[in-house]
Structure 1
């Protein structure tokens, strides 16, 4: 789920807010990252939802890379994980991919390829935690193989995936899980000529948002996703595949009881912090997230418009709710959102913001809302083939 590949914010002088704490002035590439380490609030400890999503569609991922390998049978197979983040999710799927290709190579009596694996995320990502787990990763792969495992070369590739990352035609397979719903920047059109937000009191699209807010988010999504597709088309070989897992929405309405509702709860939680004089209202008014939950039609339209790929699959699914140690669903969601948003919140509001209080209120509100009407965030899995 890195969630995680964002360009520095660049706006012209007319759109550049006077408020230096505005997300529009924030260098997101330097600020945005999942909470590192292995502590209680780290992404490593609070990414079970993302792992569940990856596992739910793992059969699609494995079928896709096996199909690709069967068609191309390269001696050196290039794989990129875009938005790899940190923690146990980063390498577990790479191992599954290697074993899937190994099974196919045996079936067709073809020598195993070497694997070139590129782990990509923003420069502030906790790559060290990933690299520290590599010895165990290699050791695990050699099990039951008489100490002879496949040749795997793994490298970290920091940078934004909204633009080129790799040389031309060097990749065969691209995987990205829970990353592409993050935009390259907060949409500049959310701010007037004075640098004031037109979406006051909301961190995302809400019922109280003017229509121009959803239009601004949609325009930014179109620009970003088109650039992503164009960049990847130059890096993939012909016939190369991409498996993309990202949050979305069911219909045309941007406001629903899905992913947008979790941002509505964050807005309410911040309002409580304002009422308790913990943070300033002006700071909340100028806080907007660089997130977009696209619809099926919007994803299909951009793929067709860009023209480099055909859609092999596009499926929608929900994650079954699972909580650990008897904690409530609201608490689990709050910890997940905190692990994702902590870097941005601290940068905008300052280290003085009481995140424990903020997300305690957040978790309670989620549980209260779940009693009223269920919250159903949906996820898309998309398989694309380079033409």
Structure 2
């Protein structure tokens, strides 16, 4: 599997698109907002600039794509009003793999610019936004040109499926039945990829630049903790299709996700070992699998069937291109209907939580 050519979220605005099934990512961005605002505000107040260059790596497409950029612009605009400064110009780079649905993003830009002019006035900006297709496991920008780098829900995706000495039989990610060598392969691949990511960004970021990264992780020391159980249920669904004769067993055995959920200790050790950035902070919070937020919705009433459908649509939106590439598109509907049933059964017995890391970094 050539990950850069295959890995992308479902495009468009249909029922199974990422744009229609990304409420969880929006909640994560909202919860990470104080860290982003604190970091960008500290950057600007300590080093005011006539032009701020911001890059969002793994931007995807849909309603969340310009959300962080809007937050950053609002924060800088407010600071400028407080300090009686002229608002700087903004140059924004939206990066994702070439297979990303950039056309959907570009179609939203005229309305975005118009809204900025209406809310901020004609003297605001200017703000220019452009797409940068390419893997963030390669160089993307000239040396020392980016002031602020952001990435949300992208760095858990690896540059490739880890090379394995043993078959991860019946599993698509780490599971209780995975051989120890498979665990080691995933851990080592994440270490290599995250170290490379930090090294590349250290060359592209300005001397006083900042970076805020949000990714899925785990609280448990053991890599086979309950945080990744949602992948086990997808493996179980694929194995059911094998039992029904819809796909071959060998196909499942040869399919592994280019994905890893590290512990915070792994992240801290890699940042420290790579040495380009100072770890300014690492916050951890949970989100329900279905993106519901009971704290903000007092009328919330749990419905495992609705929740199961939401989770199945979310996972389908982010994995369908990978699954279609390996298994073909004829089994997709059957697979995710089965997956929804397993999610429903699981949520009847216990909660499902995604663990999220918000990592704030400063250039050394």
TM-score, shorter chain, exceeding 0.5: yes
From 289, 292, 297, the equivalent of 1:322 is: 292
From 120, 124, 128, the equivalent of 2:103 is: 128
SS of the residue aligned with 1:133? Answer: helix
Does 1:220 find its partner at 2:189?
yes
Matches within 5 A, 1:244-323: 244-258=213-227, 260-320=228-288, 321-322=291-292
Aligned residues: 354
Does 1:332 find its partner at 2:310?
yes
**CA distance in 1 between partners of 2:197 and 2:103 (Å):** 26
Aligned match of 2:76: 101
SS of the residue aligned with 1:93? Answer: helix
**CA distance in 1 between partners of 2:121 and 2:224 (Å):** 55
Shift of 1:148: 4.0
**CA distance in 1 between partners of 2:123 and 2:80 (Å):** 16
From 295, 310, 328, the equivalent of 1:350 is: 328
Q: What runs of 5+ residues in structure 2 fail to find an aligned partner?
A: 294-299
Shift of 1:383: 0.2
Matches within 5 A, 1:121-160: 121-160=96-135
**Normalization by structure 2: what TM-score?**
0.94
SS of the residue aligned with 1:310? Answer: strand
Does 1:360 find its partner at 2:337?
yes
Aligned match of 1:382: 359
**CA distance in 2 between partners of 1:305 and 1:110 (Å):** 39
Q: What runs of 5+ residues in structure 1 fail to find an aligned partner?
A: 1-25
SS of the residue aligned with 1:89? Answer: coil
From 370, 377, 385, the equivalent of 2:347 is: 370
SS of the residue aligned with 2:29? Answer: helix
CA contact (8 A) 1:176 1:245 kept: yes
CA contact (8 A) 2:143 2:205 kept: yes
From 151, 156, 161, the equivalent of 1:186 is: 161
**Normalization by structure 1: what TM-score?**
0.89
Deviations 1:99-152 (A, max 9, x none): 110111122222211111000000000000000000110111122334443211
Cα RMSD for the two superposed structures: 1.5
Does 1:117 find its partner at 2:95?
no
From 187, 200, 203, the equivalent of 2:169 is: 200
CA contact (8 A) 2:3 2:258 kept: no
**CA distance in 1 between partners of 2:279 and 2:201 (Å):** 14
Shift of 1:176: 0.2
**CA distance in 2 between partners of 1:381 and 1:310 (Å):** 14
From 76, 82, 86, the equivalent of 2:57 is: 82
**CA distance in 2 between partners of 1:372 and 1:109 (Å):** 56
CA contact (8 A) 2:97 2:135 kept: yes
From 33, 37, 41, the equivalent of 2:8 is: 33
**CA distance in 2 between partners of 1:350 and 1:367 (Å):** 25
Aligned match of 1:9: none
Shift of 1:371: 1.9
CA contact (8 A) 1:257 1:374 kept: no
Aligned match of 1:13: none
Aligned match of 1:4: none
Aligned match of 1:229: 198
CA contact (8 A) 1:43 1:336 kept: yes
Deviations 1:228-256 (A, max 9, x none): 00000000111211110000010221112
SS of the residue aligned with 2:157? Answer: coil
